[in-house]
């Protein structure tokens, strides 16, 4: 069965992302076409990129990188839950992406963003980064505005249209992850 990781891309104290990631996971877990697992970056403390060789080489020297690589390699696709900080994604999410290369390749990725304007700019920047990692970015996206979908800017209250958008995003991530299976298999065979 296809395995999809839902990556919570914020480690900030008092983060809104935990509610968002839990909502995504709870919604996804009702599906029967894939297995979904929540990955909290707090559980994977990666220092600022400290590998002596570029990730494209795949020669990871540090135990934290090797553990992160094994974790990411076990999934067929991802949903990235990202805040928007200063018109971009979080530094911790960008750092986690930069640590690896082959483990991301030929996997589908969708974006659930949140912020004052729904986190749109963070997701757009992630599309560029994920494209460089040879990931297939799905077209559907969920954007949650702190102004309209969070009560008092802190309590998630997703609108019906956001729930429908999440279902459509999950449909695409699962379908694309399934379609990319032969490419992942060929890459593993060549390695």
Per-residue pLDDT tens listing for the chain (191 residues) = 999 999 999 999 999 999 999 999 999 999 999 999 999 999 999 999 999 999 999 999 999 999 999 999 999 999 999 999 999 999 999 999 999 999 999 999 999 999 999 999 999 999 999 999 999 999 999 999 999 999 999 999 999 999 999 999 999 999 999 999 999 998 888 77
What pLDDT is recorded for position 106?
Answer: 98
What pLDDT is recorded for position 188?
Answer: 80
Number of compact structural domains in the chain: 1
What pLDDT is recorded for position 189?
Answer: 80
Query: Can you say how many angstroms the Cα of residue 13 is from the centroid of all Cα atoms in its chain?
Result: 19
Judged on CB neighbours under 10 Å (0-12, 13-18, 19+), 191 is exposed
- In 119-165, beta strands by DSSP E: 136-145, 150-151, 155-156
Beta strand 108-115 with 35-40 is unpaired
Give every CB contact of residue 106 below 8 A, 6+ residues apart in sequence. 134, 135, 136, 180, 183, 184, 187
- In the chain, beta strands by DSSP E: 3-8, 35-40, 77-83, 108-115, 136-145, 150-151, 155-156
Q: Give the Å distances, CA to CA, from 129 to 1, 63, 180.
A: 27, 24, 19
What pLDDT is recorded for position 37?
Answer: 98
Whole-structure pTM value: 0.97
- In 92-180, beta strands by DSSP E: 108-115, 136-145, 150-151, 155-156
**85 phi and psi angles, rounded to 5 deg:** -115, 120
Q: Are 43 and 77 in contact (CB under 8 A)?
A: no
The CATH number of the domain where 145 resides is what?
Answer: 3.40.50.360
The domain containing residue 99 runs over which residues? 3-190
CA dihedral 55, 92, 166, 101 (to 10 degrees): 0
């Amino acid at each position: 069965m296809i395995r999809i990781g839902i990556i919570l891309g914020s480690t900030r104290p008092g983060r809104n992302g935990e509610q968002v990631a839990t909502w995504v996971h709870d919604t996804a877990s009702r599906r029967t076409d894939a297995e979904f697992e929540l990955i909290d970056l707090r559980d994977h403390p990666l220092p600022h990129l400290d590998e002596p060789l570029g990730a494209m080489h795949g020669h990871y020297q540090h135990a934290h990188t090797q553990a992160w690589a094994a974790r990411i390699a076990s999934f067929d696709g991802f949903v990235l839950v990202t805040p928007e900080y200063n018109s971009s994604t979080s530094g911790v999410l960008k750092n986690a992406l930069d640590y690896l290369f082959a483990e991301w390749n030929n996997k589908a990725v969708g974006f659930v963003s949140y912020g004052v304007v729904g986190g749109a700019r963070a997701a757009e920047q992630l599309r560029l980064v994920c494209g460089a990692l040879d990931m297939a970015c799905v077209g559907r996206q969920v954007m949650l505005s702190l102004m309209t979908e969070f009560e008092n800017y802190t309590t998630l209250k997703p609108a019906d249209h956001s729930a429908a958008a999440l279902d459509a995003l999950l449909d695409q991530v699962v379908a694309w992850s399934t379609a990319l299976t032969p490419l992942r298999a060929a890459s593993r065979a060549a390695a």
